[in-house]
Amino acid sequence: MAISDLIPWNRERAVEVRRGAEDPFWALHREMNRMFEDFARGYDWTLGPARLLQGFEPQIDVRETEDAVLVTAEMPGLEEKDFELELGDGVLTLRGEKRSEHEEKEKGSVHHLERSYGSFRRSVALPCEVEAEKANAIYRKGVLEVTLPKAPEARRPVHRIAVKSGA
């Protein structure tokens, strides 16, 4: 017994659906395959990780506590002089430039040098009013941590409402 004998549908109809352009799932499958093939064909595999820097954007997390808004940004390979922070109109903006150089020297006359540069800008709308003059930022081991204390009016106590089940 072949594995195809276990398929519970009409084999003639399955072949028609696989070949038919009218089936939306088959069309989606073909389109996804074409997209991945186009990506792989257009990617210069000789550049390696340097190619990925062209679209560098720091990953940002925003958390709100009772007293502050905490923003964390992952920016490996950067130094403090490579970026700047601005706070205005309820928006925290992080901008900078990432540079990467990769050099390979081999015996003889083979020499390979790659450079990649890319600027980035990320803006985060803050969930509440903060005290800008009391903001604190620490950068260590490729991670930026920004603490933005909430303004007094944003620290209003929250009134919890009890929910009862209805009959």
Domains of the chain from N-terminus onward: 3-42 (no CATH), 49-154 (2.60.40.790)
pLDDT tens per residue, range 57-73:
888 999 999 899 999 99
CA distance 100 to 33: 32
CA distance 91 to 94: 10
Strands (E), the chain: 59-64, 68-74, 83-88, 91-105, 111-125, 136-140, 143-149
pLDDT tens per residue, range 123-161:
999 999 999 999 999 999 999 999 999 998 888 777 889
* Between 8 and 154, the higher pLDDT residue: 154
Q: Residue 102: pLDDT above 90?
A: no
